[in-house]
Amino acid sequence: MGITTSPSDYTEINPNYTQGRGFYTNATEVANMLQIPAFSVSTYPTLAQVGNIIKRVEGIVDDKVKRSFRPILTKQEFHSFEYRNSPGYTLYGGYVGFVQLTKMKVRKVVSLQVWNGSNYLEIASAQAGITLQDNFRDLKSIILQLPNSGVSFTMNAENDITNLGNDEFCNTFGIKTTNSEIEALVNEEYPKTSQFTNASAAKELTSSNLSISDFFFAQKDTQDGTTVFFSSLLSGDDGTDCVIKVTTEQSCTANGSSTLTVVDSSKLAVGMEVSGTGISSGTTITSITNPTTIVLSASASAGTNTLTFTSGTGIPTVCSVTPFTDKETHGRLKDYWLLNEEGRIFFLQEYPYHPNNSIIVSYLAGSGRVPSAIHEATTKMVAAEIIRHDDQSILIAETGANISTKEKYDILRNEAMAILKGKADLVYLL
């Protein structure tokens, strides 16, 4: 069934739960439903508390109808593979087998990995990667840049837990813990490492009013956790033009020439860009003379300074980097093809060698429209929750002339659940 739109669709531009604006409804609509004054910072519940209720109810709605009407990123969903046809059937656009994703209305397959007998092979997305090495704590930052020299998101490392910001990743512990921190920062989620770092909130990273999680998705490799892969959320292979860079810092002494004395040249490489006080823009390392001496492409002002070294290929003994490359081989006559509406992936030329848990999928789902029925059901459920928590009838007045708050709650919730029951998706497996 094709996507349809209606003038009665609910559309919220720039949802913000702290301001009472969700994807499916908002605090103003809820107040109107309850026939009460608008929510604010001084009401009970407050505007932000109503926003939290909206967020919870939207999750309930998604679970009830078995799909989402807002962008939902599903991370590393495992599937087993079952052969349905012989490989020869793929010649004219058939398929060897398929998997049914948990969610329908797929917007983009962010990552699709198939087991080839020794490792998982990525066959979707524009993807980059970073692998940490023994001296990983010398890594200063990871930079992800949008195409055409666009906005850059800089993820800074921090080795002091007491000074760790939610826009930084902690590298105090081991490689795998550090990679978990990087993963949480890119995805702007509550870190799994919080018991070590004392994090109390989800990580956030913005640049030019843009959020990193709107453009990139990160996941650790499933084998040993030493590598983090960064997938672009841009359509198709547009993310191929994204850029990844890494930086490190050293205390350096310049003598007014192109020769520079450094702490340890083994962690530097020819071609690295050098920046800092007394360094001209675009200066790079042209040669490495000995363990403490390097030569630059331009003279540096005399003095001692901490300089930053930037690379797009990695830092020796610190990390290796794989630039963004197009992994996607999507199409009716290519490795796989997708029925977005049904959330079904068909495999043609690249498929697992073993059936059990042989496919790992991360994908962005959500129909992109909120039907009026979903808006109404969400508004009624939020209103019902507010009534349920209004124990002292402070917000919702109760008089002998009106139905009781208990009856109001029952009516609103029952009507909402009846709507959601009629909107639930059914999945048919062929």
Helices (H) and strands (E) in the chain, counts: 6, 23
- What's the rounded Cα separation, in Å, for the pair 420 and 66? 10
Alpha-carbon span 424 to 400, nearest angstrom:
38
Residue 344 host element (H or E): strand 344-347
pLDDT of residue 89: 56
**DSSP code for 39:** P
Domain parsing of the chain, residue ranges: 17-69+369-423, 77-125+328-365, 126-241+318-325, 246-315
Q: Give the H or E element holding residue 374.
A: helix 372-389
Q: 77-125+328-365 has which CATH code?
A: 2.60.40
pLDDT at res. 428 = 44
What is residue 87's predicted lDDT score, i.e. its pLDDT? 58
Contact present, 378 and 58 (Cβ < 8 Å) = yes
Q: What is the pLDDT of residue 429?
A: 46
The span from the CA of 298 to the CA of 410, in Å, is 76
What does each C-alpha distance from 145 to 22, 155, 239, 323, 327 come to in angstroms? Answer: 29, 11, 10, 11, 18
Q: Report the pLDDT value the prediction gives residue 328, as an integer from 0 to 100.
A: 62
Rounded CA-CA distance 206/305 in Å is 29
Tokens of 429: 């497996």
Residue type, 306: T
* pLDDT at residue 40, rounded to an integer: 93
Crossing angle of helices 47-65 and 27-34, rounded to 10°: 90
User: At which residue do the structure tokens 């509550």 appear?
Assistant: 190
Question: Residue 143 forms beta bridges with which residues?
Answer: 154, 245
- Cα–Cα nearest to 124, from 322, 339, 334: 334
Could you give the CA distance from residue 242 to residue 267 in angstroms, rounded to a whole number? Answer: 25
Looking at residue 8, its pLDDT comes to 75
Q: CA 360, CA 80: separation in Å to the nearest integer?
A: 9
Instruction: Tell me the C-alpha to C-alpha distance, in Å, between residue 182 and each of 142, 161, 222, 300.
Output: 9, 15, 15, 34
Nearest to 389 by CA among 24, 99, 50, 21: 50
- Kindly give the confidence (pLDDT) of every residue in the chain, 430 residues in length, as a single tens digit, with 9 standing for 90 and above: 455 667 778 777 678 898 999 999 999 999 999 989 999 999 889 999 999 999 999 999 988 887 788 888 888 899 988 777 665 555 555 677 788 888 878 888 888 888 887 788 888 878 999 999 999 999 999 999 999 999 999 999 999 999 999 999 999 999 999 999 999 999 999 999 999 999 999 999 999 989 999 999 999 988 788 999 999 998 877 889 999 999 999 999 998 899 999 999 999 999 999 999 999 999 999 999 999 999 999 999 988 899 999 999 999 999 999 999 876 666 665 667 777 777 888 887 666 667 788 889 999 888 778 889 999 999 999 999 998 876 545 555 555 556 777 888 889 999 999 998 887 654 444 4
In angstroms, the CA 393 to CA 35 distance is 14
